[in-house]
Each structure stands twice: as structure tokens, then as C-alpha cells.
Amino acid sequence: MTGHRPAIVMRETESVNNNSNPVLGVVLGSDSDLTVMLSGLELLEEWAIPFEVRILSAHRTPDAAQDYGKSAAKRGLKVLIAAAGMAAHLPGVLASYTMLPVIGVPIASGHLQGNDALYAMVQMPPGIPVATVGINAGKNAALLAVQLLSLAYPIYQKKLKDFRDSQCQTVISKDAELARLGFRCYNVAHKEIP
Ligand code: RP5
């Protein structure tokens, strides 16, 4: 594995294997995608979502990717996240082998910096959809996965609600701070917005 091995992988492996079976599978096309996905993985860990992380490549380990897609539902997984860069066929290949919803995360890499991966994921042929989030949007992928899981596991709805409330409060605080610093907002007619 290139570079350092983020601690999140070790923690995830221990906690999931020791406690409950994973319901969410996160698949990376390469270990080089891991850094981008860390914010999403950290959120999953913080919320105690039982998840597993694998490195499988649609091109370099096609048989393993096929096996993973075919066995995912049987192993109890409910949702898959697949992150890949460049000619990113991983989410589409997994989606072709499973009825589980697959969320694709286009990773910015190579000369086209994720535009290639984005188009590959979002332009799936009719019949095999991949729910594609933005380039490098690992956190949104994690949130979307939890939203899907919350349909089967209502316990996650509170975590989502708390997250949104906290996000809302953060913006309100920043807006108040802006006002405290003396900034004023004007509309196009240069009238002050109350
Ligand atoms: C894709 O090619 C991977 O998902 C990664 O984003 C990109 C480059 O892979 P490495 O050469 O860094 O392994 O398959």
C-alpha cells in the first residue's frame, strides 16, 4: 500500500469484525483513493455505522470485484459506496452484479482530475443506475448511504437530524458573526437587506 496506512482502516476492521456485521460496503479502486474518502469514513465511524472497506479494482482485480458484487447482498450489506478515479468503472461493474443501491464517488486523479470518473459514473447506460455524488465528495456519499440505511434502520434518522441541526446552527453562528463584524448585505438595488 502506498504512503501511510490511515488508522481509520485498522479501527474499522476491529470494530466491525468484533461487534456487528457490516451493512455498508465501501469499495476503493485503489489505496490512493483512501485519503479522499477519509472524511466520509470518519463520519461513518463516529456514527457507529457497521461498515467495511475493501480495495478492489474493476480493471486490476476484475474477478474479485465481480465476487464482491455478487456476494454483497448475501453477506448482509444493504448499500455500497464505490470510489474510483480515471476510467472509473468500479461502481458500474458492482451495480451490474447486485441489486443493492451503489453510490459512486468520482475521485480526482490523473490528467482529467475526476471529470473522466464523473462522466463514467453519472452516464451509466439505462437499466443499471449508479447514484453519483460530486468529485471527491466522500462525505456526501457517506451521508447518502446513511439516509438509505435509515429507511431500514430508523435509529440513524436521529443522527442525520442532529447533523443537519448542527450544520444549520453553524451557518447561523457565522451569519451572526458577520453582522457582529459590521458587514452589511445589499441587494442589486443597493438597498440594505434587513
Ligand atoms: C483508479 O485509478 C483508482 O480508483 C485510482 O483513483 C486511479 C489511480 O490508481 P493508482 O494508480 O493510484 O492505484 O483505478
| Probe residue for ligand 1, chosen from 1, 30, 60 as the CB with the greatest number of ligand atoms within 8 Å | 30
Nearest CA owner, ligand 1 atom 1: 85
Q: Does the pLDDT value for residue 102 go beyond 70?
A: yes
More confident residue, 184 or 150: 150
Summarize pLDDT for 28-43 with one digit per residue, the tens.
999 999 999 999 999 9
User: What's the pLDDT score for residue 190?
Assistant: 58
Q: pLDDT confidence of 4, banded at 50, 70, 90?
A: very low
Q: What is the pTM of this model?
A: 0.87
Which pLDDT does position 97 carry in this prediction?
98
- pLDDT by residue (tens digit) across 151-167? 999 999 999 999 999 99
pLDDT band at 14 (very low <50, low <70, confident <90, very high): very low
Structural domain boundaries in the chain: 7-153, 155-194
Does the Cβ of 136 fall within 6 Å of ligand 1? no
For the Cβ of 157 lying below 6 angstroms from any atom of ligand 1, the answer is no
* Ligand 1 pocket member 116 (CB < 6 A): no
SS3 string of the chain?
CCCCCCHHHHHHHHHHHHCCCCCEEEEECCHHHHHHHHHHHHHHHHCCCCEEEEECCCCCCHHHHHHHHHHCCCCCCCEEEEEEECCCCHHHHHHHHCCCCEEEEEECCCCCCCHHHHHHHHCCCCCCCCEECCCCCHHHHHHHHHHHHHHHCCHHHHHHHHHHHHHHHHHHHHHHHHHHCCCCCECCCCCECC
Closest atom of ligand 1 to CA, residue 60: 14
The correct CATH number of 7-153 out of 3.40.50.1970, 3.40.50.2000, 3.40.710.10, 3.40.390.30 is 3.40.50.1970
Kindly give the distance from the C-alpha atom of residue 50 to the centroid of ligand 1, in angstroms, as a whole number. Answer: 26
**Cβ–ligand 1 contact at 58 (below 6 Å):** no
